[in-house]
């Protein structure tokens, strides 16, 4: 009977501490998504400047590395699951809604603006992830230990 109880407590400890690790991993997903968006904006800017393709072809090609953006309809949609916050989504939607609305020079300026905005968000996300990641892992382990102590 003690062996079954020990196995159950080990499973409880592992499952509760796993929640902390998953929460910590989710923090880095936002930073990675914002990095992909920055790379995609740079690619978009390059394609607008140096290719003769239409915006409807350039956007999907530029944002192919951003898995949560869907280009199947008339306009790009941000699908789920999406690691971005609502303000990140709003900024990305604004970028897509204004795409192709100005000259090449205007598009370059617009891309520079959005690149800086997403870079700033990415820096904040990386900083937040670094700060909170350790807290989530430690709190997951502490919660797991507390759960085990309660059931002992």
CA–CA dist 145, 126 (Å, integer) = 29
**pLDDT score recorded for residue 1:** 62
Shortest CA distance to 42 belongs to which of 97, 102, 125, 119?
A: 119
User: Among positive and negative, which fits the CA dihedral 18, 142, 32, 114?
Assistant: positive
32 in any annotated domain: yes
pLDDT for 116: 95
Select from 152, 149, 150, 148 the least CA-distant residue to 12.
Answer: 148
Q: Is residue 7 part of a domain?
A: no
DSSP 81: S
Please give the tally of structural domains in the chain.
1
User: What does the pLDDT read at residue 112?
Assistant: 92
Check residue 134 and give its pLDDT: 87
In the prediction, which pLDDT does 115 show?
95
In a domain, 131, yes or no: no
Q: What is the pLDDT of residue 91?
A: 92
Residue 9 lies in a domain: no
> Would 5 be classed as within a structural domain?
no
118 found inside a domain: yes
Which residues in the chain come in under a pLDDT of 50?
A: none
Please give the residue range of the domain that contains residue 99: 28-125
Q: Please report whether residue 61 resides in a domain.
A: yes
Residue 148 lies in a domain: no
């Amino acid at each position: 009977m003690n062996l079954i109880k020990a196995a159950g407590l080990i499973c409880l400890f592992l499952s509760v501490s796993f929640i902390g690790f998953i929460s910590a991993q989710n923090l880095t997903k936002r930073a990675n998504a914002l990095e992909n968006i920055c790379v995609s904006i740079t690619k978009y800017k390059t394609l607008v400047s140096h290719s003769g393709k239409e915006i409807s072809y350039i956007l999907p090609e530029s944002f192919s590395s951003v898995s949560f953006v869907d280009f199947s309809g008339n306009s790009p949609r941000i699908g789920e699951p999406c690691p971005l916050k609502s303000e990140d989504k709003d900024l990305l939607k604004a970028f897509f809604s204004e795409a192709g609305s100005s000259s090449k020079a205007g598009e370059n300026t617009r891309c520079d603006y959005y690149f800086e905005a997403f870079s700033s968000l990415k820096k904040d996300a990386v900083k937040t992830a670094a700060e909170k990641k350790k807290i989530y892992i430690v709190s997951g382990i502490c919660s797991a230990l507390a759960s085990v102590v309660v059931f002992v």
